[in-house]
Structure 1
Amino acid sequence: MSKQTVSEISPEVEPVTYDMRGVIAGIKRTFPVGISIFAYGLIFGVLSGQAGLRPFEALLMSSLVYAGSAQFAVLGMWIAPLPAASIIITTLIINLRHVLMGAALYPWFSQLSPLKRYLTAYLMTDESWALTMGEYMNGRRNAGFLLGSGIVAFTAWNGSTIAGQLLGGVVQDPAKYGLDFAFTAVFIALLLGLWRGKGDLLPWGVAALVAIVVSQALPGKWYILAGGFAGSLMGAWTYGRKS
């Protein structure tokens, strides 16, 4: 049996590249978003200091956990004795959305070597994923874009964690300076960039409705996974009807 490429087996999956041009494009496109990431990263830095984390501990969390929403949730649970099991479960639930995000990227990233694939996936955030999906929807197939985007996000998040720790004595209430809105603002901008027309109304609406209902019915952060899963199913269904 002759060796077949991914594109030959699945014609709908276009071949991808992975080079420095993609990395540089990702850095350039993500730089403005990186400013917003830095802004709400400052909030985490300040709050982590108020919760009792030292600069090195906060930086270690931002580097290894590297998940803003989960880190903010954990700060509210950071009391002695530390409820390790609850923290792990909460982090897992919140970050399960990355399963859906990774699945969306799989048709392209499955063509990469394991080293490139998993190194790049480690740097994937909500922001870098959204920008990368925008690139792919516009026909650009350089997987290095996600790496470049992730580098900016990682640098901004960890840099702002330390800055927030150092400024904690000065900026004790981040909301007073409007920093709390930066998180919301960046996602509104990303959503507008992903908008493809009226066809997105149904899956987006279903995702929002399910998330709202689940947030009222179940404790914790299950609404994040439920909304994303419901929206993904509706998107797949509507796409299948068009095909």
Structure 2
Amino acid sequence: MQQREEKIVNKKKLTARLNDPSLKSGVKDALPIILGYLPIGIAYGMLAVNKGLTPLQTTAMSIFVFAGSAQLVSIEMIAAGAAVAAIVVMTFLVNLRHLLLSASLSLHLRNLPLYYYPFLGFLITDESFAVAMSKIESQKNKQRYFLGLGFTAYLGWVFSSAVGAFLTEFIDLGSGGALDFVLPAMFVVLLVMQISSRSEIIVAVFSAFASLFFALTINGSWNIILATVLAAFLGVYIDGNS
């Protein structure tokens, strides 16, 4: 009898949490993010399978990594036979900005049990951070708002990458190399959108030439890592002297 009453109480608590207005607002605000994830996620899934990963491996990477740009870079490095250490370091560098994103967002998510933070940190992306920072202050329950926002966006990314991965089972992509253009094109577009000053143009051009130089002089895929680090130092130097 007591167990039955506990189940009823727990069911009522769960229902109340699911009906929380802040949680629903988070889910609603994640829908535009999902629309943006769909084409990139599908392209990632198709590209990953085209590079040699299985559909299950491709989907698993989205489930456990959940970092679009890092995943796209990783599959290129995996296909090129890069060392595991190089892939790990590059993933760390690509996602290093998340330290700043999570630190900024944590100011709105104070006084939570410690076990919440790793999970909420896992859900942070550029898009969810941008939406959260613009709307979380008006939410009564900020924790549930970001949970709804981040988890819904996460499901959208996993779903879109799985669709792309399993589509390759039914669609013959051929060997024309069209998908090989997806990754460079996406990063070129992102780069052009972010360049807004002369110093950023200098850093972008420097990193491109540095990557080419290291690719021709050093074996493996360390050229990307070295160029990234040097370009970051150059950017800091220019910014400090401007």
TM-based fold match above 0.5: yes
1:170 pairs with 2:168: no
**Match for residue 73 of structure 1?**
73
Q: Structure 1 residues 153, 171: CA separation in 2 closer, same or farther (over 3 Å shift)?
A: farther
Q: Which residue of 1 aligns with 2:28?
A: 28
After superposition, give the CA deviation of every residue in 1:12-55 in whole Å (9 maximum; x if it has no partner).
xxxxxxx9322211110110220120211001100011111111
* Residue-by-residue CA offset, 1:77-122 (whole Å, 9 max, x unaligned): 1137552111111101101010111111122223222122222111
1:45–1:163 contact (8 Å) kept in structure 2: yes
One-letter amino acid of the structure 1 residue matched with residue 75 of structure 2: L
Distance 1:146 1:85, change over 3 A: same
Conserved? CA contact 1:110–1:117, under 8 Å: no
- Structure 2 residue aligned with 1:215: 207
Q: TM-score when scaled to structure 1? A: 0.66
Q: CA separation of 1:130/1:209 partners in 2, compared to 1, >3 Å: closer, same or farther?
A: farther
Whole-angstrom distance in 2 between the partners of 1:143 and 1:207: 38
Q: SS of the residue aligned with 1:113?
A: coil
Deviation at 1:155, TM superposition (A): 1.0
Match of 1:78, SS? helix
| Cross-structure match for 1:56 | 56
Report 1:194-205 matches (<5 A). none
Deviations along 1:132-172, one digit per CA (max 9) or x if unpaired, are 01114xx4242322211111221111111111112225374
2-structure distance, mates of 1:27, 1:149: 5
How far 1:176 moved relative to its partner?
9.6
Could you tell me which amino acid in structure 2 is paired with residue 68 of structure 1?
A: G
Indicate the RMSD between aligned Cα atoms, in angstroms. Answer: 3.8
> Residue 158 of structure 2 aligns with which residue?
158
Q: 1:214 to 1:130 in 2, by over 3 A?
A: farther
In the alignment, which residue of structure 1 is the partner of 2:217?
Answer: none
Give the corresponding residue for 1:104: 104
User: In structure 2, what is the Cα distance between the partners aligned to 1:38 and 1:207?
Assistant: 33
Question: Against the structure 1 CA distance between its residues 175 and 38, is the aligned structure 2 distance closer, same or farther, given a 3 Å change threshold?
Answer: farther
Asked whether the 8 Å contact 2:70–2:94 carries over to 1, the reply is yes
Q: Look up the match of 1:131.
A: 131
Gaps (5+ residues) in structure 1? 1-18, 192-203, 235-243
SS at 1:114 equivalent: coil
Distance 1:131 1:103 in 2: 16
Identity of aligned residues (%): 25
Distance 2:82 2:138 in 1: 46
CA contact (8 A) 1:30 1:153 kept: yes
- The residue type equivalent to 1:215 in the other structure is S
The aligned amino acid for 1:48 is A
- Inter-CA distance 212–167: structure 2 relative to 1 (3 Å threshold): same
Q: Which runs of 5+ in 2 are unaligned?
A: 1-18, 212-223
Cα offset, 1:207, TM superposition: 8.8
Counterpart secondary structure, 2:79: coil
